[in-house]
Structure 1
Amino acid sequence: MKFLCVVYEEPNNGLGPQTEKEADDLVNEHLDYDETLRQSGHWLIAQALQPVETATTVRMRNGKISITDGPFAETKEVLGGFVLIEAKDMEEAVQVAARIPSARMGFIHVRRVYEFEKK
């Protein structure tokens, strides 16, 4: 089964990197964990996202496109990235997600991927 681990950060909670070295160390820790996931057979893909200030929100209503700079709504959590994994069940997926380094600073939302087949 595939599970999407959505990484949310809470930038104002004081738990994230405070210096450039701490930020570099966190990136390296993520890259090391990606390699651990590859070796265990769980890893499918992982990507970090640029800061939320670089985002654009797109809506389509009544055939018209509406574009807004930045996030859809003000929240204290921001989407930081994702990890797509293979796991035998939700319990295993949660154990894998709990070891994602950013879980210590924010939270990881774990959802099973619904795999469609064309009929």
Structure 2
Amino acid sequence: MRYLILIPTNAGRWATLPQSERDRRLDEHIAFTRSIIASGEHIDGAVLSVPSAARTVRLRDGAVEVTDGPLTESEEYLGGYYLVECASDDRAAEIAARVPDARLGPVEVRSLKTITGLMVR
């Protein structure tokens, strides 16, 4: 089964870290990513751009509205993710617990439900 591991972050907290700490955390993510690649459980992962770089899209009365900025303003935002494939919910939680950010705050795990074979009426 596939799982999405969501990594929330806080821009203010990250900005206060010295560069050496940022570099150390990046190295931890690289080591973690290599470990789940080696185990065959890694599918994808990425760091997301900051919310201020987002564009929000809405469809209103048939017209597309695009606005600069995030859907909602918040100190906490989704900073990145890992997409993994593993045998169980428990294994997904074990992998999530190894994400370096799990030592700083919560990391969310969600199973993915595929729509393969969905019948269109």
TM-score after normalising by structure 2: 0.86
1:104 and 1:15 map into 2 onto residues whose CA distance is 14
Q: 1:71 to 1:105 in 2, by over 3 A?
A: farther
Letter in 1 for 2:5: C
Larger Rg: 2
2:91 maps to 1:92 = yes
2:5 maps to 1:5 = yes
1:36-73 alpha-carbon deviations (Å, 9 max, x no partner): 00111211111111222211111122221112222111
Q: Which residue of 1 aligns with 2:68?
A: 69
Q: Which residue of 1 aligns with 2:25?
A: 26
Shift of 1:81: 0.8
1:8 and 1:49 map into 2 onto residues whose CA distance is 10
Superposition RMSD in Å? 1.8
Runs of at least 5 residues in structure 2 that lack an aligned partner in the other structure: none
Q: Which residue of 1 aligns with 2:109?
A: 110
Runs (4+) of structure 1 moved beyond 4 Å? 14-17
Contact conserved, 1:10 with 1:105, CA < 8 A, in 2?
A: no
2:15 and 2:109 map into 1 onto residues whose CA distance is 21
1:16 and 1:59 map into 2 onto residues whose CA distance is 31
Shift of 1:16: 7.5
The aligned length equals: 118
2:103 and 2:68 map into 1 onto residues whose CA distance is 29
Contact conserved, 1:46 with 1:84, CA < 8 A, in 2?
A: yes
Greater alpha carbon shift after TM alignment, 49-58 vs 80-89? 49-58
Runs of at least 5 residues in structure 1 that lack an aligned partner in the other structure: none
Shift of 1:15: 7.4
Greater alpha carbon shift after TM alignment, 102-111 vs 21-30? 102-111
